[in-house]
Amino acid sequence: MSTNKLNVSAPADEPVIILTRTFDAPRELVFAAMTDPELIPKWWGGRRSTTEVDEMDVRPGGRWRFVEHDSDGNDWAFRGEFREIVPPERVTQTFEFEGMPGHISVDTMTLEEEDGHTKITAVSRFDSFEDRDGMLQSGMEEGAAETYDQLEELVTKQAQREAPQEASQEAPRV
């Protein structure tokens, strides 16, 4: 079991989501796991899924497509295009879930090594947020407060307030 935790933040000043996570392994090894088609099935997908690399052409402009087969017999396909490969420190690629075509994020994974540990910072930039530049510009010059924390705080507060009236009315949405 790992004590390295995934950190998620959605900063206020950019339409991005940032994930960070540290691995107890040197950077070359992490980079290889992310860019070697043979290694993708070892970690991509859920624990009870198997993943097939349908296509993975690791160079700028090259396509990738992974199909995940879950234990209920469902297939989930993800695809995109590599934009930039800088071994062993950075990969930029587009990411699209085929179940939601057209919603493409541009993901940049940066790998930093310190004392044999590697920190991945994955920044996902969402196209649809960018489309709304005009709106996003309004009053966004403030610092990068973490929307996610704020959201959680609000939702928790609201859930506590509404629990008596609303708890059983709303079916869980997936």
Contacting residues toward other proteins, per CB under 8 A:
2, 4, 6, 8, 10, 12-13, 15, 17, 19, 21, 23-26, 28-34, 36, 38-39, 42-47, 86-88, 100, 103, 120, 122, 126, 128-129, 131-132, 135-136, 138-140, 142, 145, 147-148, 150-155, 157-159, 161-162, 166, 170, 173
Structure tokens at 40: 């993708």
**148/17 Cα distance (integer angstroms):** 9
Residue whose CB is less far from other proteins, 106 or 122: 122
Instruction: Please state the closest distance from residue 67 (CB atom) to other proteins, in A.
Output: 15
Instruction: Please state the closest distance from residue 9 (CB atom) to other proteins, in A.
Output: 10
Instruction: Please state the closest distance from residue 96 (CB atom) to other proteins, in A.
Output: 12
Residue whose CB is less far from other proteins, 115 or 170: 170
**49/43 Cα distance (integer angstroms):** 10
* C-alpha dihedral sign at 54, 119, 124, 3: positive
Instruction: Please state the closest distance from residue 63 (CB atom) to other proteins, in A.
Output: 20
Residue whose CB is less far from other proteins, 28 or 55: 28
Cβ neighbors of 77 (< 8 A, separation 6 or more) are 54, 65, 66, 67, 68, 97, 98, 99
- Of 154, 107, 150, give the one whose Cα is nearest residue 127: 107
